[in-house]
Amino acid sequence: MKNRIVVFSILALLLSLCSVSSVAAFETRGSAFVPCMSASYSNSSVLVRSYIYLTNITGSDVTCRVTFRDHAGDDVTSYSSVYSGNASGNSAVTIATVNGTFTLPAGETRYLRLSISDTSRLIIGQATIEWASDDPNLRKAIIAYGKRHGVHNDRGTLASIPINNGQPF
């Protein structure tokens, strides 16, 4: 029994060290702040979602991390998903992420959607976009655009959210 406890303790320590080292390995090379992020849900006829579109304007892959925060500054990234287009169908393809971190291939575009399906929560806040690269010569890698889309019964609303004045970062 003591051997199992020791083994589990060692495994827990190793896992915690791995997670700390992966966070430390993300060295931000560029970032942008995104205001006006919101998400709410009353039913399928009354909802608000926020979107961020990211395009890698370089010739090499970059790692992106997008963190969503609510009105109190709490991390609500778990309410977001990352998507790409689909060359063989009309539905988006979900991209795997780890805590809002994903690879954005050279020249490609992804979008993030902040949405909820819980009637007991309203998210209003902001997002931070960060990118990192192994290429020491990259200075600007991402261009981004945000929007907020709402539906109230049969009427839709759309708001543009400028990100870095439309300039690469």
Q: Give the domain CATH number at 39.
A: 2.60.290.11
pLDDT, greater one: 81 or 12: 81
CB 68 within 8 A of CB 165: no
Q: Is 21 within a domain?
A: no
pTM: predicted TM-score of the whole model, two decimal places = 0.81
Q: Which range is least confidently modeled, 59-63, 81-85, 115-119, 165-169?
A: 115-119
Cα distance between residue 167 and residue 60, in whole Å: 19
CB 126 within 8 A of CB 36: yes
Q: H-helix or E-strand containing 146?
A: strand 142-152
- Report the share of the chain in percent with pLDDT over 90: 70
Nearest to 128 by CA among 169, 98, 87: 169
Per-residue pLDDT at 18: 39
Q: How confident is the model at residue 120 (pLDDT cuts 50, 70, 90)?
A: confident
pLDDT, greater one: 65 or 13: 65
Q: Name the maximum alpha-carbon separation found in the chain.
A: 64
Tokens of 11: 């495994």
Per-residue pLDDT at 26: 74
Per-residue pLDDT at 17: 39
CB 132 within 8 A of CB 27: yes
Q: Which residues are 25's β-sheet partners?
A: none
Q: Is 2 within a domain?
A: no
Q: Is 85 within a domain?
A: yes
Q: Is 60 exceeded by the pLDDT of residue 40?
A: yes
- Report the share of the chain in percent with pLDDT over 70: 85
Q: Is 19 within a domain?
A: no
Q: Is 80 exceeded by the pLDDT of residue 72?
A: yes
CB 152 within 8 A of CB 46: yes
Q: Is 133 within a domain?
A: yes
Structural domain boundaries, residue 34: 28-166
| Mean of pLDDT over the chain | 86
Question: Which of 18-22, 43-47, 70-74, 83-87 reaches the highest mean pLDDT?
Answer: 70-74
Per-residue pLDDT at 154: 82
CB atoms within 10 A of CB 67: 16
Per-residue pLDDT at 25: 65
Question: How many domains would you assign to the chain?
Answer: 1
